[in-house]
């Protein structure tokens, strides 16, 4: 039987070790980086985010929101506090977001939650010494999928200067025949409504799409296809690859000083968070 290309632990031998490392790093981050935990962005108990502040805080700082992955069904903001290390080193306020998990909640709820988190941060950026005109977002895997909904095209500007998408999922249809069929049971309606490749995006948002060279084939195919779709819609988009990176090592390396992934996120924030959307 051919291995399911979406079952990550079948393709990353060190899956559990990497997850343990990420969680250990996140514990250290919460101990060493100034933070405000469990800030409510909505009315439900789980609708919270953690704010991490760079050293030498001031006013009008950039603010960067990170959305974790886990195929919409696992992990939490606490697991990924470590991403704030790189974000705050770049001089930005980091907001690590929690959202409800499938299958108890459906995809429309999750997307509504990350949109509400963005709206909260834009409305209250000054509370954290930041400015809404310097808002950017990143996400990994399912988090990259959710992040795309923050810069959909609408009558009003999205307010997202730039988006950093790592190992993302941009076409949901193949997941209906993957191992996730029994875990989250995506409906045809959810695939139709919530596949990023089917949607229009804000041409004012600059996008960086990154994949690991050791990712399975569908992740690479989807990244390239989504890059072309965004470019055709008028967005400034760049795609890059981490040659020896897999689906899990790349997200761990977001927090590891000296790795190409951390350097890319640091440069992304420094280069994009200084300008308002076009």
> 3-class DSSP state for residue 211?
strand
In a domain, 125, yes or no: yes
Contacts of 182 (CB under 8 A, 6+ apart): none
Question: Does the residue 19 lie in any domain?
Answer: no
Mean pLDDT (whole number) for 42-48: 94
How confident is the model over 187-206, as pLDDT tens digits? 999 999 999 999 999 999 99
The pLDDT of residue 54 is 95
Structural domain including 150 reads: 37-273
| 31 falls within a domain | no
Domain assignment present for residue 16? The answer is no
- Structural domain contains residue 45: yes
CATH number of the domain that 74 lies in?
Answer: 3.40.50.1820
- How does pLDDT run across 87-122, given as a tens digit for each residue? 999 999 999 999 999 999 999 999 999 999 999 999
Confidence of residue 278 (pLDDT cuts 50, 70, 90): very low
Q: Is residue 60 part of a domain?
A: yes
Question: For the chain, what is the mean pLDDT?
Answer: 95
Contacts of 220 (CB under 8 A, 6+ apart): 211
pLDDT tens digits, residue range 8-40?
999 999 999 999 999 999 999 999 999 999 999
Evaluate whether residue 23 is within a structural domain.
no
| Percentage of the chain exceeding pLDDT 90 | 92
How many domains, the chain? 1
Look at residue 56 in the predicted model and tell me its pLDDT: 79
In a domain, 184, yes or no: yes
pLDDT tens, 172-182? 999 999 999 99
Confidence at 81, pLDDT banded by 50, 70, 90? very high
| Residue 99 burial (C-beta neighbours within 10 Å; 0-12, 13-18, 19+) | buried
Beta-strand ranges (E) seen in the chain are 35-40, 48-52, 61-67, 93-97, 130-140, 162-166, 206-212, 237-242
157-174 exposure pattern, b = at least 16 Cβ within 10 A, e = fewer: ebbbbbbbbbbbbbbbee
pLDDT for 207-258, tens place per residue?
A: 999 999 999 999 999 999 999 999 999 999 999 999 999 999 999 999 999 9
pTM of the model: 0.96
Give the integer Cα–Cα distance in Å for 49 and 78: 9
Give the model's pLDDT for residue 156: 79
* Structure-token pair, residue 114: 């990350």
């Amino acid at each position: 039987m051919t291995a399911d290309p979406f079952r990550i632990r079948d393709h990353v031998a060190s899956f559990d070790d990497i997850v343990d490392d990420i969680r250990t790093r996140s514990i250290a981050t919460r101990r060493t980086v100034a933070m405000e935990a469990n800030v409510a962005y909505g009315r439900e108990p789980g609708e919270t985010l953690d704010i991490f502040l760079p050293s030498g805080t001031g006013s009008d700082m950039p603010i960067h929101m990170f959305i974790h992955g886990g195929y919409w069904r696992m992990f939490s903001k606490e697991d990924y506090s470590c991403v704030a290390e790189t974000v705050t080193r770049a001089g930005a306020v980091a907001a690590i977001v929690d959202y409800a998990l499938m299958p108890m909640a459906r995809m429309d709820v999750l997307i509504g939650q990350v949109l509400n988190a963005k709206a909260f941060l834009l409305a209250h950026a000054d509370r954290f010494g930041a400015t809404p005109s310097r808002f950017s977002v990143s996400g990994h895997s399912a988090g990259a999928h959710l992040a795309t909904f923050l810069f959909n095209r609408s009558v009003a500007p999205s307010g997202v200067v730039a988006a950093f998408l790592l190992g993302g999922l941009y076409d949901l249809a193949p997941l209906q025949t993957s191992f996730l069929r029994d875990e989250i049971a995506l409906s045809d309606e959810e695939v139709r409504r919530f596949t990023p490749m089917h949607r229009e995006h804000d041409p004012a948002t600059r996008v960086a799409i990154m994949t690991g060279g050791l990712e399975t084939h569908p992740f690479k195919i989807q990244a390239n296809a989504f890059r072309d779709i965004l470019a055709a819609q008028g967005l400034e988009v760049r795609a890059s690859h981490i040659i020896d990176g897999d689906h899990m090592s790349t997200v761990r390396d977001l927090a590891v000083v000296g790795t190409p992934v951390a350097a890319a996120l640091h440069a992304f924030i420094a280069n994009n968070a200084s300008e308002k959307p076009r």
